[in-house]
């Protein structure tokens, strides 16, 4: 596979995920200009929710590519109130009428997220939906509940920045955060800069995303980052886009467990490659920990450093995330895999539905509330 041959690249990316990723900066601009308002009160025959008071906690429910945006919002916009990301069927016990529950599902049909919606309504929580269609869109529209519609036609994971900004807009509409114009300008500038450097018609060796993908070919990526959400997102992109396993670790935590694991390996036992994701905002002691950790691991394994760009945390985290969207797609092509397909996820969803009608049962229960 030749990453300088655009015809060959298209063959391995028939649904054109590269183009989806390419289009993001402009879509981000459109989404940022959108108004989003929250109603004060919704009352139907079956449930009643109030949006008047400021919430005293926030729950973000979602799975996979839809859930990661919740992790990023928590880090980039720290709030005075607790924010919890739930990747499961149930809500925590503390959830009540003062808890804002955001239901995030790109497809709008993920059963774990639908199950949380049902429980949230039963508890009288103010709910907000984010989806591009499916049952969530239908339910929120039918019941006049606040819903942020994301553009369709993407793989959920490719739409990550759009889902992230939808959450930001929702938090803004509750006056919980403010988004500075300079931070947005910096973000858009850096995303476009990365795109210009990594676009498919920029050849090796100039294209840094293609270079990193070549370095990672037939390796096992071990991702270290001082923000766990970034390490996890990159791992998930390698899993879902590139169809390969990867390890994600956060600093300083990895210094208390993962680092000891390396004692069991000699040089070249396994084809690991450490990706150290660095940020100007990392804690000074974390900086030192990176240096010492590198010294421990470098006799056994190759290590590449990649840096988040910008002054604002928003740009630092999203720019490096965007770079790895490109890298993971190029790596999929090198692996002769289509970056868009997720056959195992589709199989699991089908099997669950066939064996226990898991999704249909949740939808039936929601229909009774509708
Ligand atoms: C698929 C992907 C998955 C989905 C997950 C939940 O592109 O990224 O991780 O995000 O299966 O589905 P949605 O996002 O539709 O709720």
Mean pLDDT of 278-295: 98
| Ligand 1 geometric centre to CA of 62 (Å) | 9
Check pLDDT > 90 for residue 47. no
Phi, psi dihedrals of residue 147, rounded to the nearest 5°: -145, 135
The pLDDT tens digits of the residues spanning 177-230 come to 999 999 999 999 999 999 999 999 999 999 999 999 999 999 999 999 999 999
The pLDDT tens digits of the residues spanning 81-129 come to 999 999 999 999 999 999 999 999 999 999 999 999 999 999 999 999 9
**CA dist., res. 246 & res. 170, Å (int):** 33
Please give all residues whose beta carbon lies within 6 A of any atom in ligand 1, as ranges: 63-66, 105-107, 110, 113, 155-157, 240, 342, 345
Output the CA angle 115-116-120, nearest 5 degrees: 125
Q: What mean pLDDT is reported for the chain?
A: 96
Cβ–Cβ under 8 Å, residues 275 and 221: yes
Mutate to test the pocket of ligand 1, among 86, 137, 149, 157 (most ligand atoms within 8 A of CB): 157
* % of the chain surpassing 70 pLDDT: 100
pTM > 0.95: yes or no: yes
Mean pLDDT of 260-288: 97
Q: How many residues does the chain have?
A: 370
- State the pLDDT confidence band at 54, using cuts at 50, 70 and 90: confident
| Ligand 1 geometric centre to CA of 258 (Å) | 28
Check pLDDT > 90 for residue 53. no
Q: How many CB atoms lie within 10 A of CB 284?
A: 7
Q: Mean pLDDT lowest for which of 38-47, 200-209, 271-280, 322-331?
A: 38-47
| Ligand 1 geometric centre to CA of 106 (Å) | 7
Check pLDDT > 90 for residue 52. no
Tokens at residue 211, please? 């270079």
Indicate the burial class of 208 (C-beta count within 10 angstroms; 0-12, 13-18, 19 or more): middle
């Amino acid at each position: 596979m030749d990453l300088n041959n655009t015809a060959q690249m298209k063959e391995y990316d028939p649904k054109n995920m590269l183009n989806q990723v390419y289009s993001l900066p402009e879509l981000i601009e459109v989404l940022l200009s959108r108004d989003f308002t929250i109603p004060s009160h919704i009352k139907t025959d079956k449930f009643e929710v109030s949006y008047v008071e400021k919430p005293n906690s926030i729950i973000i429910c979602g799975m996979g590519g839809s859930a990661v945006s919740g992790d990023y919002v928590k880090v980039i916009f720290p709030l005075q109130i607790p924010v919890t990301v739930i990747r499961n069927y149930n809500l925590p016990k503390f959830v009540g009428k003062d808890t804002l529950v955001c239901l995030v599902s790109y497809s709008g049909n993920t059963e774990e997220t639908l199950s949380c919606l049902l429980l949230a309504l039963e508890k009288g929580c103010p709910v907000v939906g984010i989806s591009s269609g499916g049952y969530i869109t239908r339910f929120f529209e039918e019941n006049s509940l606040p819903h942020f519609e994301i553009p369709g036609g993407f793989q959920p994971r490719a739409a990550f920045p759009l889902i992230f900004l939808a959450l930001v807009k929702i938090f803004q509409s509750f006056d919980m955060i403010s988004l500075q114009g300079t931070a947005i300008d910096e973000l858009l500038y850096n995303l476009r800069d990365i795109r210009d450097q990594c676009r498919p018609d920029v050849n090796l060796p100039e294209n840094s995303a293609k270079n990193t993908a070549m370095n990672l070919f037939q390796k096992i990526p071990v991702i270290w980052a001082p923000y766990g959400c970034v390490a996890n997102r990159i791992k998930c992109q390698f899993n879902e886009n590139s169809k390969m396993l990867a390890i994600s670790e956060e600093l300083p935590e990895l210094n208390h467990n993962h680092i000891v694991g390396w004692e069991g390996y000699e040089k070249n036992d396994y084809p690991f490659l450490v990706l150290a994701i660095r940020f100007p905002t990392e804690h000074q002691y974390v900086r030192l920990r990176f240096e010492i950790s590198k010294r421990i691991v470098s006799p056994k394994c190759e290590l590449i450093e990649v840096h988040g760009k910008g002054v604002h945390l928003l740009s630092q985290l999203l720019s490096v995330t965007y770079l790895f969207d490109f890298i993971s797609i190029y790596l999929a092509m090198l692996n002769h895999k289509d970056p868009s397909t997720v056959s195992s996820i589709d199989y699991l969803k089908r099997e669950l539905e066939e064996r226990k009608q898991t999704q249909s049962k949740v939808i039936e229960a929601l229909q009774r509330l509708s």
